[in-house]
Amino acid sequence: MSRVDLAELDFFSPEVQECPFSVYQQLQDEAPVWQMPGTNVFVVTRYNDIREIIRDPARFSSSFSALLNAGSSNEDVNAIYGQGYEMVETLLTQDPPRHRVYRNLVNKVFSNKRIEGMRDDIQAIADQLISEWIDDGEVDLLNRLCVPLPIYVIADQLGVPRSELTLLKKWSDASTSRLGRLADEEQQIQNAKDIVEFQHYFADLIDRMREHPEDNIISDLANNTIDEGRLLTKPEALGMIQQILVAGNETSTNAIAGGVVLLIENPEEQAKLRGSPELIPTAVEEILRLETPTSGMWRRATQDTEIDGVAIPEGSFLMVRFAAGNRDESVFPCAGAMQVDRENANNHMAFGQGTHFCLGAQLARTELQIAMTTLLRRTDNWALVEGKNSLKHHPNVLLRGLMDLHISFDKVS
C-alpha cells in the first residue's frame, strides 16, 4: 500500500476521492481521528469511532447545513437562490428533539406497508426497462436501468407524471452537485436555476394536493399535520421533498451500478450468486458495504470533547467516513474482498445508524434486490465494454457514483 504524507494530504481532492481506499486504511492505522491540516475538520475512519459519534447527537450535532448550503461567493448564484424558498432544517440537518417531529411524519408517509406494497410495481418497472434492450447484447446500463429505476419508483410515489422524469433527474443532479461542493461557477449558476425551478414546481404541486388530495407522498406531506395540528409550511415541505428526491435517487443508482461492476470483477462471487439466488439479500448488503454510495457525512461538536483520545474543540466539524468504517478490518475481515455470503455483511453503516438512520433503507434494499435478481435471471456473461468505460466517479465529497457503465451480455433464453 502506498503511503502518503498526511501533512500534505488534500483529503477532499477529486484525485484522492477517486480512489480513497489506501488513504482510508492509512488513516485508520496512523490517525483514525485526523485533523485536516490548517482546518477545524476532523476525518474519522474507524467503525467504532464513527458509531460512537453518530449515536450521540447531543455531543455531535447534525446542524451542518451551513456547510451544505453555504452562500456562494458568486453574487449571481445568490441572486438566483433569492428567487426561491428559504431552506428549513427538517431531517438530515435537524437535531432531536425537533428532528423527531419531522421524522415521525415521514416515517408514517414511508411506512413498511407502503414499501411492501410497492414491490410488484418495482418488479414491473425493472422488467420493463430490461425488456427495452434485452435483445441488443450490449447496453448503457447506467442510463437504461440504474438511473431510471429509482427515478420511476420515486416519481410514482411523489405523484409526478412520467412525462416529467427528465426534470426530476435534472433537479436531483443539481441538488447532488450543490451538496458535493466541487462545482465550478458556471455549474453553480445552473444548479441554482434548477433548484429554484424545483421549488416552484413542488410548491404548486403542494397547493394542488391540498385542494385535491391523492394517494402519494406529496399529498401525505401536504396534508398531514405537526405540532398543534398545523400543516407544514412550504419551506418545511420542500426541504423534506428535496431530501427524499436526492437521497432516493443518486444513492440507489450508484449502488446498482457499483454492484454490477463488483460482480463483473468478482466472477466467482457472481457464479456463487447465480447458483444460490437465496444469497441475494446478503449480496446486496455486501454491495452496500463495499460501495457505500454515501461515502461520508458531517457532524459538529457541540462541546469540547474527545474521540479515541483526540481532543475535539467545540464547533469543530467531523467528517464521519462511512465508506472507511465499512472497510475496517477489525469488523469485516478481508474488508476489501467481496464475499456474497459474508456473515456480518449487514452490520455495514452504508445507511448510517441511530437518529438519522436512512429513511429509505427498506426501499433502497428492495430496489437493489429486485434489480440484481432480475438482471441475473434474464442476462448472463456480463463484461465491461472495452473503450466505453472510464470507471471514474463523479467528483463529490459526500456521494460516490460511477460516471458510465456499458456492459455486454447474453440474453438468458
The reply to whether 352 sits near ligand HEM by the rule CB under 6 A is yes
Count other C-beta atoms under 10 Å from residue 363's C-beta. Answer: 23
Which amino acid is residue 1, in one-letter code?
M
For ligand HEM, how many residues bind (rule: CB under 6 A)?
26
The reply to whether 356 sits near ligand HEM by the rule CB under 6 A is yes
Among 33, 126, 232, 297, binds ligand HEM (CB under 6 A): 297
Among 25, 266, 294, 373, binds ligand HEM (CB under 6 A): 294
**Nearer to ligand HEM among residue 17 and residue 294 (C-beta):** 294
The reply to whether 358 sits near ligand HEM by the rule CB under 6 A is yes
312: left (phi over 0), alpha (psi -120 to 50) or beta: beta
* Signed CA dihedral, 189, 149, 260, 290: sign only: positive
Whether 273 and 126 have beta carbons less than 8 Å apart is answered as no
The reply to whether 244 sits near ligand HEM by the rule CB under 6 A is yes
Smallest gap from Cβ 201 to ligand HEM, in A, equals 18
**Nearer to ligand HEM among residue 232 and residue 364 (C-beta):** 364
The reply to whether 394 sits near ligand HEM by the rule CB under 6 A is no
Among 247, 260, 290, 324, binds ligand HEM (CB under 6 A): 247
Site residues (CB under 6 A) for ligand HEM, limited to 170-229: none
Distances from the Cα of 242 to the Cα of 202, 210, 218, 372, angstroms: 9, 19, 11, 27
Smallest gap from Cβ 286 to ligand HEM, in A, equals 13
**Nearer to ligand HEM among residue 9 and residue 257 (C-beta):** 257
Distances from the Cα of 299 to the Cα of 65, 136, 286, 296, angstroms: 10, 47, 26, 10
71: left (phi over 0), alpha (psi -120 to 50) or beta: beta
**Nearer to ligand HEM among residue 80 and residue 141 (C-beta):** 141
CA distance 55 to 57: 6
Matching residue, cell 484525485? 15
Q: Reduce the DSSP state of residue 84 to 3 states and report it.
A: coil
Site residues (CB under 6 A) for ligand HEM, limited to 8-67: 54, 62
Q: Which of 60, 51, 92, 65 is CA-nearest to residue 353? A: 51
DSSP string, 31-60: -SEEEPTTSSEEEE--HHHHHHHHT-TTTE
- Stretch of residues binding ligand HEM (CB under 6 A), selected from 135-143, 180-188, 190-198, 345-353: 345-353
Whether 236 and 88 have beta carbons less than 8 Å apart is answered as yes
One character per residue 62-91, x = contact with ligand HEM (rule: CB under 6 A): x----------------------------x
The reply to whether 360 sits near ligand HEM by the rule CB under 6 A is yes
Residue nearest to ligand HEM (CB): 360
**Nearer to ligand HEM among residue 34 and residue 102 (C-beta):** 102
One character per residue 120-149, x = contact with ligand HEM (rule: CB under 6 A): ------------------------------
- Stretch of residues binding ligand HEM (CB under 6 A), selected from 112-120, 162-170, 182-190, 243-251: 243-251
Among 219, 252, 316, 326, binds ligand HEM (CB under 6 A): 252
Q: Which of 283, 301, 277, 282 is CA-nearest to residue 377? A: 277
CA distance 239 to 320: 23
**What does the block give as the cell for 307?**
474521540
Interface with ligand HEM (CB under 6 A) = 54, 62, 91-92, 103, 154, 243-244, 247-248, 251-252, 255, 293-294, 297, 322, 350-352, 356, 358-360, 363-364
